[in-house]
Structure 1
Amino acid sequence: MGILEKFSLRNKKIIITGGTGILGKAFVHALAEAGASICILGRSQEKIDERIKEAQALGAEAIGIIADVMDEQAVQAAKSEILAQWGTIDGLINAVGGNIPGATIGDQQSIFDNKIQDTIKAIELNLYGTIIPSMVFGEIIASKGKGSIINISSLAASRPLTRVLGYTVAKHGIDGFTKWMATELALRYGDQVRVNAIAPGVFLTEQNRNLLTNPDGSYTDRAQKFINGTPYRRLGDPSELEGTLVYLLSDASAFVTGETIFVDGGFDAWCGV
């Protein structure tokens, strides 16, 4: 197999949860260009249809299913539907996540103003929203002894970002789950079943827009701090995640598992001096 062929996703059947979001849009684009068949899970039929059209415009096979990843029965039903159409699953991208307003502390608030129930919801969305699909769809990947699962970590799992307690706790959990799942699957199902995570730097998305931009579109002080702490001196563009995603799903990363790869312009590496 030549090196270019190793990076190809041709004929691979890949599920993406959260594919209707901004990062999800970049992921769908990457999968389509790499030749994968794509199944988009989401809660909005309109947004799913939009992503399907985008993938088909790039020549990819794409299907969509309405499913809440927090509902195990709904995810099980989605699995049955996917297997009825495809017969197999080769990869899973757990792109569901984000923050909840009540779980974010304002600049002028005490940390004890953090709403506990909203913090719990943020933990559940990001952590359980990754674990549930991994266990449901991962069973198919494990049974065939080959495939790749990609989780989405965060800088918050490496550096304690202020104001976002629930998100921070959840992303630490995702790093731990990634290592645990990678180890268990490899030991039990062989050396072609892999689980890794991507830790994006700071990308402007709908979930963090209120934290990073003012009403006039200018950067907030918080966004400027992120930029100042990044050697590249800018925020990331979602398209800059695409290469790492394809690499981790493809045969090019055959000996990589249990890892979290930072795509952050050097933020995590830099001490600031």
Structure 2
Amino acid sequence: MSARTALITGGTSGIGKATAEILHNRGYRVAVTGQRPENVARARAELPEDVLVLAADARSLADTDQVVSEVGARFGSLTTLFLNAGVSRPMRLDTCDEAAYDEVFAVNTKGQFFTLVKALPLLADGASVIVTVGIGATRSLTGNSVTAGSHGALLAMIPTLALELAPRRIRVNAVSPGFTDTPMTRTSLRTVSDDVAATMAAMAERNPFGRLGVPADIAGTVAFLASDDAAYVTGQEIVVSGGAGLAI
């Protein structure tokens, strides 16, 4: 592969935006997607002008078709696909909501799976596919069962997808952030806490490294998985959490 290209879903803020910046700095041609108009507008203003910023709803297969068409016209092929779009809707069993449940699985599971399906013709041999999962998929967190289930479904697919795409040397791996200071994390916490800053400070104190993750922590791992340094890594999950979740 010569020219390096990347499509990052959920790339207009947080981890996705930080990854776009790192990959662009490393010479990639980059496209990002986002749903919220304010995030799309901010990304267009703040990311380098040659980064392709596309408005798309991860739940919509028609939007995904349009994204793939525009990226194909601009780049021709993809060497990296970072499936990062996601939502978090904290809900306990006694407060669960069918519409919220359906939204979580539509974005986090169906949307990401079909983005891979539809982008497959663009993926160059030897390309890298990275999926954002999260440590909540395998560790207990009250009120997180629906979001965890949507991510856990993706995690369960990783080994099979890796084997299916191995004949083309396309690598498929997952990156699982711990608690990371992103706009989505703060929005999610506002639904369960009246003092988000205090809640995040308490979470940081409980982390073995004494801090929460920041988007660049995760973006660096994604950049590694996209690089030739990870050319023999496939079917794996890399947890980036500062040691969170290790204690019994």
What TM-score comes out, normalization by structure 2 length? Answer: 0.89
Residue 222 (structure 2) aligns with: 245
Residue 11 (structure 1) aligns with: 3
Match of 1:122 among 85, 104, 120: 104
In 2, the alpha carbon distance for the partners of 1:68 and 1:83 equals 18
**Mapping of 1:165-244 within 5 angstroms?**
165-186=145-166, 189-190=167-168, 192-210=169-187, 212=189, 215=194, 217-220=196-199, 224=202, 226-244=203-221
Q: Which has the larger radius of gyration?
A: 1
1:242 deviates by: 2.2
Is the aligned partner of 1:72 residue 2:61?
A: yes
- Alpha carbons of 1:125 and 1:211: their partners in 2 closer, same or farther (altered >3 Å)? closer
Residue 93 (structure 1) aligns with: 82
Is the contact between residue 229 and residue 270 of structure 1 (CA under 8 Å) also seen in structure 2?
Answer: no
Is the contact between residue 40 and residue 48 of structure 1 (CA under 8 Å) also seen in structure 2?
Answer: no
Match of 2:115 among 133, 142, 152: 133
Is the contact between residue 75 and residue 133 of structure 1 (CA under 8 Å) also seen in structure 2?
Answer: yes
1:136 deviates by: 0.9
List per-residue Cα deviations over 1:208-254 (Å, max 9, x = no partner). Answer: 3255465555322x862x43542112211111112211100111100
- Alpha carbons of 1:78 and 1:212: their partners in 2 closer, same or farther (altered >3 Å)? closer
In 1, the alpha carbon distance for the partners of 2:214 and 2:224 equals 18
Structure 1 runs of 4+ aligned residues shifted over 6 Å read none
**RMSD after superposition:** 2.3
Amino acid at match of 2:58: V
In 2, the alpha carbon distance for the partners of 1:206 and 1:53 equals 17
Residue 28 (structure 1) aligns with: 20
Is the aligned partner of 1:47 residue 2:19?
A: no
1:47 deviates by: 3.2
Is the contact between residue 130 and residue 175 of structure 2 (CA under 8 Å) also seen in structure 1?
Answer: yes
In 1, the alpha carbon distance for the partners of 2:170 and 2:198 equals 42
In 2, the alpha carbon distance for the partners of 1:216 and 1:77 equals 40
1:16 deviates by: 0.7
Is the contact between residue 5 and residue 78 of structure 2 (CA under 8 Å) also seen in structure 1?
Answer: yes
In 2, the alpha carbon distance for the partners of 1:232 and 1:133 equals 35
Residue identity (%) = 26
Is the contact between residue 33 and residue 53 of structure 2 (CA under 8 Å) also seen in structure 1?
Answer: yes
- Alpha carbons of 1:14 and 1:211: their partners in 2 closer, same or farther (altered >3 Å)? closer
Residue 108 (structure 1) aligns with: none
In 2, the alpha carbon distance for the partners of 1:50 and 1:121 equals 24
Point out the more displaced range, 207-216 or 119-128. Answer: 207-216
Ranges in structure 2 where 5+ consecutive residues have no aligned partner: none
Ranges in structure 1 where 5+ consecutive residues have no aligned partner: 1-8, 106-110
Match of 2:132 among 152, 158, 175: 152
